[in-house]
């Protein structure tokens, strides 16, 4: 059995066509502010990709570069100013931040209505109720990829390998909202294979090349590889042995070209949704952005 490829690049391209239309329908282009602290080369590449993707659909992006020695206070002051700027609909702080800056304080300073990465505590908490203002981009991208392929989620056994705050945990909550039966595994899980073998849908986000090999996968499973690992020879691979597992799975995501392009695309979608909300309720949105308060749940 050869698995069908879940082509994130192609789905992303298709979604972006619709996004361009939505941007054109707005009274002014959506604005995304990306805050980049320090000189981390990987962060710079990620920011460059996000800026490029924004331009592609007509989102106006602004990169605010701050030195690695920036204080928590200076950084939060910049965010507060962005919260109050009505031309900005999304604010993203590129992680990781330098060790001296408390990440949570910085993320909590972002207005919930502009938290397009979905990392504010309100948005994280909203995942439990299924009413986030912005779903976090990577798990949201995975969900869209599954839905786009018409893969049933309700009632399926889902195993998520990786329990980080930005991928594994929100992924598990989002698929639980879709009525899947979800198990979460992490580095201290004993006998990972006894869980993965039960998965109808296996989502892997551990950052460990070759962690998942064919004998750990049920025949016909849907395998989503979120991992991105750079091997010593320069190759980019996921967490799943693609060659072996693709002979056993029904669907599989490639790395690169699977979840990665979907993550950036969800960021664009969240930013456009924010601009649409602001255009629909200009006064209420501006007031809430100033106060940092969350909108009432839908």
Question: Between 19 and 119, whose beta carbon lies closer to ligand NAP?
Answer: 119
- Could you give the angle at which helices 282-291 and 259-280 cross, rounded to 10 degrees? 110
User: At its nearest, how many Å lie between ligand NAP and the CB of residue 289?
Assistant: 27
User: At its nearest, how many Å lie between ligand NAP and the CB of residue 94?
Assistant: 12
Question: Between 57 and 278, whose beta carbon lies closer to ligand NAP?
Answer: 57
Q: How far is CA 228 from the centre of its chain?
A: 14
Among residues 7, 50, 200, 225, the one annotated as catalytic is 50
191 is catalytic: no
Question: Between 133 and 171, whose beta carbon lies closer to ligand NAP?
Answer: 171
User: At its nearest, how many Å lie between ligand NAP and the CB of residue 184?
Assistant: 8
User: At its nearest, how many Å lie between ligand NAP and the CB of residue 101?
Assistant: 18
Cis previous bond, 130, omega within 30 = no
- Which positions touch ligand NAP (CB under 6 A)? 138, 161-164, 166-168, 185-189, 192, 205-208, 211, 226-229, 259-260, 263
The DSSP-derived string for 166-191 is TTHHHHHHHHHHTT-EEEEE-TT-S-
Radius of gyration of the chain (CA): 19
Among residues 7, 115, 117, 225, the one annotated as catalytic is 117
Question: Between 186 and 277, whose beta carbon lies closer to ligand NAP?
Answer: 186
117 is catalytic: yes
Q: Are 160 and 186 in contact (CB under 8 A)?
A: no
Q: Whose CB is nearest to ligand NAP?
A: 164
177 is catalytic: no
Q: Phi, psi (5° rounding) for residue 129?
A: -90, -10
Strand 229-230 relative to strand 236-237, pairing: antiparallel
Contacts of 168 (CB under 8 A, 6+ apart): 160, 161, 162, 184, 186, 203, 205
Q: Which residues are catalytic?
A: 50, 94, 117
């Amino acid at each position: 059995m050869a698995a069908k490829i879940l082509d994130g690049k192609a789905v992303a391209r298709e979604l972006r066509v619709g996004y361009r239309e939505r941007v054109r329908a707005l009274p002014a282009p959506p604005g995304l502010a990306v805050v980049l602290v320090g000189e981390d080369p990987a962060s710079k590449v990620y920011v460059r990709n996000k800026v490029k993707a924004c331009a592609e659909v007509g989102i106006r992006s602004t990169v605010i570069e701050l030195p690695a020695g920036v204080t928590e206070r200076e950084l939060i002051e910049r965010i507060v100013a962005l919260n109050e700027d009505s031309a900005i609909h999304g604010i993203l702080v590129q992680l990781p931040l330098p060790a001296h800056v408390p990440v949570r304080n910085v993320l909590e300073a972002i207005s919930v209505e502009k938290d397009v990465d979905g990392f504010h505590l309100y948005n994280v908490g909203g995942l439990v109720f299924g009413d986030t203002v912005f779903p976090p981009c990577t798990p949201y991208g995975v969900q869209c990829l599954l839905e786009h392929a018409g893969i049933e989620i309700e009632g399926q056994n889902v195993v998520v390998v990786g329990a980080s705050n930005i991928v594994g945990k929100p992924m598990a909550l989002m698929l639980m909202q879709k009525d899947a039966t979800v198990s979460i595994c992490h580095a201290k899980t004993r006998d990972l294979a006894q869980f993965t073998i039960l998965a109808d849908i296996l989502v892997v986000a551990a950052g460990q090349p070759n962690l998942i090999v064919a004998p750990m996968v049920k025949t016909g499973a849907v395998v989503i590889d979120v991992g991105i690992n750079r091997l010593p020879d320069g190759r980019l691979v996921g967490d799943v042995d693609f060659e072996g597992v693709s002979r056993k799975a029904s669907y599989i995501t490639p790395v690169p070209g699977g979840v990665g392009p979907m993550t950036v695309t969800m960021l664009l979608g969240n930013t456009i949704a924010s601009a649409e909300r602001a255009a629909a309720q200009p006064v209420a949105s501006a007031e809430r952005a100033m106060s940092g308060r969350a909108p009432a749940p839908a």
